[in-house]
Structure 1
Amino acid sequence: MMKKGQITMFVVMGIVLVILVGLVVYIKSSIVTTEPPETDITETYSNEIASIKLYTEDCMYKLGKEAFIELGQRGGYLDTSFIHPYGLTATESDGFEIFPDSGIVIPFWYYMKSKNDCTGCVFDSQKPFLAGRTNKSVTGQVISYIENNIDSCLKGYSFMKTEGFEVVEGPPKVDIKLGGDTIIEMKKSVVIEKDGKTYSINSFVTSLGLDFSSLYSFATEIVEQLIYQGFFENQVLNDITIYNFGYDEVSKPIPPIQGGKETYFSYPGMYMKSIENVNNILANEVIPNTVSGVKVSGTRNGVISMVISGKNETELFFEEAFQNQKLLQIFNFDRVDRNQYSVFFTYLPIWKPYLRINNKAGFLNVQPAKIFPPISLPFDLGSIYQMNYNFYYDLSFPVMIRLYDEEAFNGEGYNFIFGFESNLRKNTPFNKSGTAPTLNVQGNQNDVFCDYRNRNSGNISIIVKNFATKQPVKGLEISYTCGSLTCLIGATGMYDTPGLVTTLPTCLDGVISFSDNNYYIDKPTYLTSVKGKNQAVEIVAYPKKKLNITILSNPVRKNYDFSIPKIFWEPVFLELTPSIDETFLIRVERISNDSSINEFKSFASFNSETPAAIEFIPGNYSIEVISLLYLGENRSVDRIVIPEDERCYSGECFTLPEVSFNATFPSGGVVLNNETGYFEIGEDIYNKSNITFKVFTIDHAGMKVMEDLEEMNKIEYYSMNYKSNILPVLE
């Protein structure tokens, strides 16, 4: 009989043996090795295979990290060419440049899609989808980046070839799994041969140490709460009031938010402000301080800091209340642990805001009214004046939001940057709603919908025809969208066919589309895919025609009619070549009364020293050209100054302060819209190569008094009254 200790020893040895056998089976199942075709296939594991696996997964990590870092600088996109950061202000498009001509474009995750002076305004978002395999999803972009660059990173496994191995590679198939980490999986056949033996490996996997899914969800929460709370709009209203603190009503640097009345026993002077000067104060002082002081509750840097020394309890109470007001509260606690992030908000003065006060863009003036005592008094009070204030701000400005995860990439840290547009109209947050909005957060349900096993429709034949040539277009990547789910289906022209024949997942009123910057589809192509049903679809694609730009300038000059006498401004149609210091921002939009028509917009920036082109397709267009004259010591014009001046009303006189333009002067442009009339582009556009825009430019030498500033607001008036002289010319 064996002793108890001996039995225990045999049990332990048995367990160890089972574990060893399991490890061998696991390793052998992970790596497949084969003999050449004429011999039996043998499975084995080798140092060479281990080297290939490590080398390949290092490349996957490197490329994945590169892609996430790059898209983190651009709001979730590797390519932002579809964002058009053009306009007189930073809020006139769907994104903005960090610095002029930097090429770094930040898309708005929330913005007003309509023009700043719109009625019935529409809001939109350029936030990418999280998952999916399209170029508008984060994972889709990273997958494409890795698949397109993996071969150049691997360099044909040259290190193996120097050891006498022959290497044969298959195409890569990449997938990304999001969760607590970002996992990159790749299917790729790599076969090496030496000394009559063949070894192969087909599967690779690596992790980035980046919880991008949680970061994306938290960024979405921040945007939702900024919208719901009207946060920046309310902050800037408060800070405008604070900025004016300590000034009497007449001398306040910027117009006060709230209306009111002030009574004076002597003439106080007219309240008059240049809105351009007010805009400069807002852009350089008020908005930067408002935005940079905001923090998000529960984050690493979301802590209130106060200087306590030398302050009494009352002062500390009000300072704490002020600081708490700058704290963005996140009420949705169930998505993410916010403590792993720091959040920073930035506004730079170069991102010029849109500003109108009392619907004016030139200058404000409030004249005091003379009033009389309500009853007769035995003594003379003299004249009594009352100043009535009622200022309404229309203000739009961009905010750059940066989320920082210092634990990402194994402690190296990760930045994610995107844009948000704040809009104030008539002193009220313009984007505030009664309930918190929900921005689309797309998850892995896309993977289920797009699974090949779920494509159970009949054969779907898709042909895309060029509107100009009437020929099929090859090489277009076709997508199929059902609700919020989008699948990349395939490409036209594969296997020498004119279009694409494929199967689709079943869906009611799905949309077939493609993404190609060279073509435009005017209407969505709806298709209800039915199990087992064959269907054919033909899509008409308009090729975008690029036209080279020429600009001719017609000066608007001040004239004198001594017979009346009268001073007036009028255009002179000289069609001059613009100065090299003038830059023209051009925006065109195709107009249709059919709400189902997809929008088509095109933008360009033109300078006489830098050739530029703009895209069109046939249709009716609204056209807006804005002229900016750049000022400075090395420019043709150093600065433009309207000097201090005096005005007298009812025998009382007061001084108007100087107004100066030191960097840029909005010198004119042209407007063709529903008021002035649209511009029609015919089908012969495809035979044209040039377009000449004719614009009005205000003669800055004639800008002598405050009233001359109103010329800046008359471009639409001149465009309407002299339309025949300023229509674009196609050649």
Structure 2
Amino acid sequence: MVEIRRKKGQVTIFIILAVLIVGALVAYFTLRGSFGESVPEELLPVYDYYVSCLQDQAEDGVRLLGEQGGRIDVGEFFPGSAYMPFSSHLDFMGQGVPYWMYVSGNNMLRENIPTKTSMENELGEYVSARVGLCDFSDFEMQGFDVFVDDKNVQTAVRINDLDIEVEVLNKINIFKGNSSVVVGSHSFGIKSKLGKFFGLALEVYNYEKANMFLENYALDVLRLYAPMDGIEIGCVPRVFVEENVASELKDALVANIGSIRLDGDYYDLSSKGREYFVEDSGLDVDEQLSFLYMRDWTTRIEMYGDKVARPVGLQEGMGILGFCYVPYHFVYDVNFPVMVQFYDDEELFQFPVGVVISKNQAREAMPTTNGRNIESKVCEFKNQKVDVYTYDTDLESVEARISFKCLDAVCQIGETKLYSGEAVLRGEFPQCVNGFIIVDAPGYAQAKYQISTNEEMLANVVLKKKYNLSLDLGEVDRGVVTFVSSDYSVTVLYPEMDSIELIEGYYNVSVHVYDGSSLKFPATSRKECVDVPESGLSGMFGGMSEKCYDINMPEMDIDFAVVGGGKVQEYITSEDLANSKELNLNVPLFGLPTSIEGLAANAERVDDEIVEVYYE
């Protein structure tokens, strides 16, 4: 009995030993490919090259993540519109970089911010898709056979502040003569600040979203470099050319946005005055940071107000002022992109955001903005279907952009598109009594169509074509030409602007001619007398007495004086415009005034003289 138990014990020991041996063999063959030291020395150069190739692919992916705002796959492109120029991507030196925050073409404020997890996943997918791109041809010429499994690949990535850990799980088989190895796991690290740069970028973005410091700097630039509210001393109209204002504003934005710094130790100020550009964000940035705007980036600058500011002081009854002044007031919409960049000598992480100024005001700061509509509340309730057809004056279909104005709100609706020869938009509008459909198309004047969308569901809108003609004022050296009709107006500062765009219509045409010679009017004094009621009882019964005042006018220097001009009413047909290349205006000339009274008389004479209009 004892012998039987002893034999059973021996059998049990053998079974345990067998299990341990089999387990050890399985573990050995399973894990031996996980460690570099298991690769035979004569095969090690091939394997080292493979790991180096994987590392190169990963580094390319890291570079793309930095250059493309934390994205390798930048996603679908959504275009902007003429009203809101931001697309979903900023074209940066030919490379599309997704906006982290922008206003879409339909006026929705949108966010598109990556996470560290999404970056890790995209980098892993990028490496997995490229394991088969490693070129072993040089080794094959030396007698090696290499087989890489590029079908069953998994890549794990961990992004840290100062490095990135990568593990690629796929098999590589290497053979040469009697030596062979199969390696199934490949781990390596990359020295990179991607994680740190991304964390800093998030902090800067959240600070901008909550405090809108970029918008605040942009408003300062607008107030300093663009005419907003003011008065200029002078006796001639001041003409503001929107294209020139926009150009100067872009140049100012380039210089000022590029000078912005956040509090930190990554810069030295050249002077105490540069402290204005240091934003007290509380972020304590310790890496190189720059804000970038380029004038050729898509930018919208709209200037609202009378582009021709007329002088006060020349009108009848105002000569007592003794001088002239020109008041002006403008309101702006300004939308432009800013690229935020963190960098050192080797790496870059950048992302763009959209800066929005509407009617001289920054957009509302929002802790959460994704999908938020920044239009008026009226525009949020588009529940009335209206079909809009757009034509030219020959009833040919014209594709156009459609917006809708109800009270003070302007809503972006969409665009008419050609279907079966008709340019039509079947869109949804807010319900509104006596609103206006606003239609814009390149080469045509803006058209307005009054409609009550709570009752009407169809609108046929006719657009008038613009014709560009050269402008000749004969012997006039300098003048302001204005064409005003019921639905269109244009002002030209001649000779700086030597052409004019007109549409068919009935115009009030006015021309003011100025001489640039400096005039000095000496100080004068004169007496003015008026009848005033007498004091006391006599005044109660209508008694009047004469009171006289001395009016002293100081010496005045006038840079420009009205020396000619006139007005006319003229109906201009589309045939006149289509068959002509030049518009000639024959303008009466008066000569230089010698006194302030003569200056006022010349200004009044413009209303009495006739301008003759000729076509060539």
1:292 to 255, 258, 281: 258
Identify the residue that residue 127 of structure 2 maps to in structure 1.
146
Contact 1:89 1:353 in 2 (8 A): no
> How far is the alpha carbon of 1:85 from its aligned partner?
4.7
The answer for the alignment partner of 1:404 in structure 2 is 343
Instruction: Tell whether the 8 Å contact from 2:468 to 2:501 is kept in structure 1 after alignment.
Output: no
Q: 1:641 to 1:187 in 2, by over 3 A?
A: farther
**In the TM superposition, what are the counterparts of 1:204-353 in structure 2 within 5 Å?**
204-243=186-225, 254-256=226-228, 259-260=229-230, 268-283=235-250, 285-300=251-266, 302-306=267-271, 320=272, 322-332=273-283, 338-339=285-286, 341-353=287-299
Which residue type is aligned with residue 310 of structure 2? Q
After superposition, give the CA deviation of every residue in 1:120-164 in whole Å (9 maximum; x if it has no partner): x53212333331xxxxx3223222221111111254x87268435
Are the counterparts in 2 of residues 74 and 418 from structure 1 also a CA contact under 8 Å? yes
Partner of 2:512: none
Letter in 2 for 1:305: S
Residues matched between the structures, number:
406
User: 1:163, 1:645 → 2: CA distance?
Assistant: 87
Answer yes or no: is 1:163 the counterpart of 2:132: no
Higher strand share: 2
- Give 2:110's match in structure 1, choosing from 119, 124, 128: 124
Q: Which AA in structure 1 matches 2:307?
A: L
1:60 to 54, 57, 62: 54
What is the CA deviation profile of residues 393-426 of structure 1, one whole-angstrom value per residue up to 9, with x for unaligned ones?
22111112222132xxxxxx01223212111122
Q: CA deviation at 1:215?
A: 0.8
Match of 1:105 in 2: 96
- Which one of 350, 353, 359 corresponds to residue 426 of structure 1? 359
| AA in 2 matched with 1:269 | V
TM-fit CA distance, 1:280: 1.9
Question: Residue 303 of structure 1 aligns to which amino acid in structure 2?
Answer: D
CA distance in 1, matches of 2:391, 2:341: 44
Q: C-alpha distance in 1, partners of 2:61/2:583? A: 54
Q: Residues 269 and 655 of structure 1 are in contact (CA less than 8 Å); yes or no, is this contact kept in structure 2?
A: no
Report the CA distance shift for 1:587/1:638 in structure 2 as closer, same or farther (over 3 A).
closer
Q: Could you say if the C-alpha distance between residues 105 and 31 of structure 1 is closer, same or farther in structure 2, counting changes exceeding 3 Å?
A: same
Query: How far apart in 2 are the matches of 1:53 and 1:223?
Result: 43
| 1:416-495 matches, cutoff 5 A | 416-433=349-366, 437=367
SS at match of 1:324: helix
Change (3 A) 1:183 1:46: same
Change (3 A) 1:210 1:439: farther
1:639 Cα deviation (Å)?
Answer: 11
| Runs of 5+ consecutive residues of structure 1 not aligned to the other structure | 1-26, 35-42, 116-120, 132-136, 244-253, 307-319, 407-412, 441-552, 556-570, 577-583, 590-599, 605-617, 630-636, 649-653, 669-697, 706-731
1:179 equivalenced with 2:13 (yes/no): no
Given that 1:400 and 1:420 are in contact with CA atoms closer than 8 Å, whether structure 2 keeps it comes out as yes
Letter in 2 for 1:356: E
RMSD (Å) for aligned C-alpha atoms:
5.0
For the residue of structure 2 that corresponds to 1:128, the secondary structure is coil
Judged with a 3 Å threshold, the aligned counterparts in structure 2 of structure 1 residues 107 and 299 are, in CA distance, closer, same or farther, namely farther
Q: Would you say the 8 A contact 1:85–1:96 is kept in 2?
A: no
Q: AA paired with 1:422?
A: V
Runs of at least 5 residues in structure 2 that lack an aligned partner in the other structure? 1-26, 371-389, 404-412, 418-424, 430-437, 445-466, 483-490, 504-576, 585-616
Tell me the secondary structure at the aligned position of residue 432 of structure 1: coil
Note if contact 1:297-1:303 (Cα within 8 Å) is conserved in structure 2.
no
Find the aligned partners of 2:341 and 2:471 in 1 and give their Cα distance: 38
Contact 2:470 2:581 in 1 (8 A): no
> SS state of the match for residue 381, structure 1?
helix
Distance 2:200 2:472 in 1: 49
User: 1:353 is aligned with what amino acid?
Assistant: T
Amino acid at match of 1:381: I
Q: Is the 8 A contact 2:401 2:415 kept in 1?
A: yes
Matched residue type, 2:280: Q
Q: Say which SS state the counterpart of residue 69 (structure 1) adopts.
A: helix
Correspondence 1:32 to 2:32: yes
What is the Cα deviation at residue 209 of structure 1? 0.8
CA distances 1:166-199 after superposition (whole Å, capped 9, x unpaired): 6463622111101131111111122345666653
Q: TM-score if structure 1 supplies the norm length?
A: 0.46
Change (3 A) 1:620 1:91: closer
How far apart in 1 are the matches of 2:498 and 2:132? 54
d(CA) in 2 for partners of 1:646 and 1:221? 52
On the 8 A contact 1:60/1:184 being kept in 2, the answer is: no
Specify the SS of the correspondent of 1:82.
coil
Distance in 1 between residues matched to 2:124 and 2:502, nearest whole Å? 47
SS in 1 for 2:340: strand
For the 8 Å contact 1:114–1:123, the answer to whether it is kept is: no
Aligned sequence identity (%): 16
Q: 1:603 to 1:196 in 2, by over 3 A?
A: farther
Quick check: 1:391 aligned with 2:320? no
Alignment of 1:491-570 (within 5 A): none
